[in-house]
Amino acid sequence: MKEKVENLDWNNLGFQYHDLPYRYEAKYKDGKWGEGKLITSSTMELSECAEVLHYGQEIFEGLKAYRRKDGRINLFRPEQNAHRFTLSAGRLAMEPFPEDEFVNAVKQVVEANKEFVPPYDSGATLYIRPLMIGTSKVIGVQAATEYTFRVFATPVGAYVNGLIPAAYQVSDYDRAAYAGTGRSKTSGNYASSLYPSVEAHKEGFADCLYLDPREHKYIDEFGGANFYGITKDGQFVTPKSKSILVSITKRSLLELAEKQGLNPVERKITLEEAFDFAEAGAMGTAAVISPVGSITYKGKKHVIYSEEKPGPITTKLYNELVAIQYGDTEDKYGWTQTLE
């Protein structure tokens, strides 16, 4: 059943799916993309032999639309999501969707569902999910020749509780080896992180922190976000690794940290070094910036700054990023696109 605006409690949405009136769809067949259009059906019909169901040719992106104080709507760096989507398609031998059409599709979906973009100051946003799947009937291991590209949106609350510090557990599982492949700096596949995350949640942790697949010594990322740390001398550091997602939020924070004189750097970070950070956090489209309260490794908890409140640098970075996303401050970087 389609969602109705009057039924939504903007301040208590949670991070979940709502069936909105419109989504965008385009299909690839006979060597070319057909003309995409807005549709109303939220269901997709697939053959039981569809490639995506057997060999996993599926990619997705995630971005948000923000209601500004003046009532207009901001998108945050959608062209970066379009480019990462192209990289993901190439990695999985899928037919790339044109990047300019990707951005246009996102805008069409937001415009068509604009009444569902949560009010300014509600703490909620419109989450946008572009995806592409292989739909050919394939029984042997091979790439599909037909694809469906779709963009849908759903209003969501915070993925994590804002600037409330969260507890994380270092995973005993090697996500790359467990799944047979790493995320390879693309949209990738989160399936291999589900089991460790479920186990972590059972024990009261927000999520898992993964180490590198070769030496199990260096930090890679969290199950659903990138990692950053603030050294005791005030430097912003984040892992450099070939197996983690290239985060658009991370890329943005590296620039903000540079402006704030934090001398940001991407490099290998040992787990032991992280225990000694002045501050640490998770960063991503869904997580935004979420401070790490503690990291538990082999049963021993290591508190990072505080379990009760965020550190001053994390708070400053969060406030500056969110102010740009919502249009509360001048966007000196050209990151936002405003819809009337």
Nearest-10 crossing angle of helices 78-91, 248-259: 130
Q: Could you say which of 185, 268, 309, 316 is catalytic?
A: 185
Reference 125, options 62, 37, 42; nearest CA is: 62
Report the alpha-carbon distance of residue 208 to residue 194 in Å, rounded: 10
Tally of CA atoms within 13 A in the half-sphere of 252 that contains its CB: 27
Question: Radius of gyration (Cα) for the chain, nearest Å?
Answer: 20
Q: In Å, what is the CA distance from 74 to each residue of 10, 104, 171, 190?
A: 18, 14, 36, 27
In what helix (H) or strand (E) does residue 250 lie, and over which residues does it extend?
Answer: helix 248-259
Q: Tokens 């002045």 label which residue?
A: 278
- Residue 114 annotated as catalytic: no
- How do strand 288-297 and strand 166-170 relate by DSSP bridges? parallel
CA angle, residues 203, 208, 211, in degrees to nearest 5: 135
Any idea of the CA torsion for 105, 106, 107, 113, to the nearest 10 degrees?
Answer: 110
Contact between 304 and 292 under an 8 Å Cβ cutoff? The reply is: yes
- How do strand 236-239 and strand 265-267 relate by DSSP bridges? parallel
In what helix (H) or strand (E) does residue 272 lie, and over which residues does it extend?
Answer: helix 271-274
Instruction: Supply the residues annotated as catalytic.
Output: 185
